[in-house]
Amino acid sequence: MKRFLHISAFLCFVLANNAWARGEFRWESAAEMNQARAGHAAVAFGGKIYVFGGRERAGMQNQFILSTAEVFNPDSNRWDPIAPLPRPLKNMGIAATDSLIYLFGGISGRMMPVDITIIYNPASNTYIQGPRIPTPVFGQAAWTLERSIILIGGATSMQEYMTQSLVFDISRNRWSDPVPGLINPRFHFGLALSRTLWVIGGYARGGPVVGVEGWFEDQWQVRNRMPEPRGELGVAVLGDTVIIAGGITARDSLSRRVDGFRPEAEDHWIRGLPPMLLERSDFPLIRLGNALFALGGLTIMRREEHCVTASVEFYAWHEKGDAPEEEPAPYSSALSYAWPNPGNGWITFYLPRNSQRIIIFNPLGEKVASSFTNPRVSFWSWFAGDQPAGTYFYQIQTPQGIPSGGSVVILK
């Protein structure tokens, strides 16, 4: 989701590399969750996606709030139940560390925000309660930065919004002094990391908003506007592009629209990327490997009625079924290539069929990165911004034992 300067420029690039005939970016269905849910929390952890709570029906009644949780394994393309939350919750903040998953606040019981912290251990499939949040909050986002988790935005009621960003000290297991809050407070927004943190869209007084704020020099700054107002949207990053999907518009209608935001491009917005299969709002968009997964949410069914769905779809590069079945040639750049090349940030490697692993070597022949690849996804992104300038070499391993690969130039 971050591979484009502009759609036309991207198409020109792909055609120039004789790759557009091999495939395209599109949404496809994946295995459904075991439980229909919206307003749920989700996070990628250990190569899987963990999902917690939410609501099972459209409406505000507290009996619709869920405590169930489940995990998605991409290798088997299936969802399995895990231990339920200690209490029903929806609209929580969520973040992961190396070994634990943290859930903050949310709405429970009498449809009021809560101040609880729940810590889930995937290894033992158990929960413990953490220190209480300084104030009850819902609709916020959470992000792990070094040894802290920052809670950004959110609301304490439908009329009162958080004006500070709360900081949880992981090593000390306690709340620290808050840091500056958003310039324009909001909730149910999208949060993404692309060089810095970006807050996109969401709800404020009056409905969905278009504002975009970035974290620069220890404070939030207004930097851009979305093409249209959207709240309860899905946001995730791939390469150097932030993908914005679905949500509720100012006309109070559900959307399947997908746009791209490139913070460092002259033209920040890429309008009209392939739309999702379903209109969705109040859903998480999670990056797992080199694909984005849209999980459940509120959608539109027959007679224009809103309902909660268990459906899942993913956005990735797909090779066309009528592409020729060519045997890989040693280091054939026709079957694998990197873009942008030259580059100085995120670089995406497009992989041949049945690729198993990619390895990157620096100009001295030393391995600087490697990853096993997902056979369902035919590209892989690598951040080269922290590497010295020079010509790097990559090798892509396949079951046939004949690698493809090539070189990529990193500029400074």
**Distance from C-alpha of 161 to C-alpha of 374, rounded to nearest angstrom:** 41
The pLDDT of residue 59: 65
The pLDDT of residue 323: 38
Residues of the chain with pLDDT under 50: 1-22, 302-303, 322-335
**Distance from C-alpha of 347 to C-alpha of 408, rounded to nearest angstrom:** 9
The per-residue pLDDT for range 84-141, each reduced to its tens digit, is 999 999 999 999 999 999 999 999 977 789 999 999 999 999 999 999 999 999 999 9
CA distances (Å), 324 to each of 319, 380, 404, in order? 10, 22, 17
Within the chain, all domains assigned CATH 2.60.40.10 are found at 337-410
**What type of residue sits at position 158?**
M
CATH homologous superfamily of 337-410:
Immunoglobulins (2.60.40.10)
The pLDDT of residue 267: 53
Both tokens assigned to 186: 């909001």
Residue 214 CA neighbour count, 13 Å, CB half: 14
Task: Please list the residues that pair with 214 across neighbouring strands.
Answer: 198, 221
**pTM as predicted:** 0.74
Ramachandran angles phi, psi of 64, nearest 5°: -90, -5
Ramachandran angles phi, psi of 205, nearest 5°: -60, 125
The pLDDT of residue 332: 33
CA distances (Å), 6 to each of 272, 299, 349, in order? 10, 29, 19
Match domain 28-316 to its CATH number in 3.40.50.1580, 3.40.50.2020, 3.90.1150.10, 2.120.10.80: 2.120.10.80
Within the chain, all domains assigned CATH 2.120.10.80 are found at 28-316
Q: Are 233 and 257 in contact (CB under 8 A)?
A: no
Q: Are 327 and 358 in contact (CB under 8 A)?
A: no
The pLDDT of residue 196: 87
CA distances (Å), 337 to each of 333, 389, 393, 404, 406, in order? 6, 19, 11, 9, 7
The per-residue pLDDT for range 287-336, each reduced to its tens digit, is 988 889 999 999 975 445 678 999 999 998 765 553 333 333 333 333 46
Q: 72: part of which helix (H) or strand (E)? A: strand 69-73
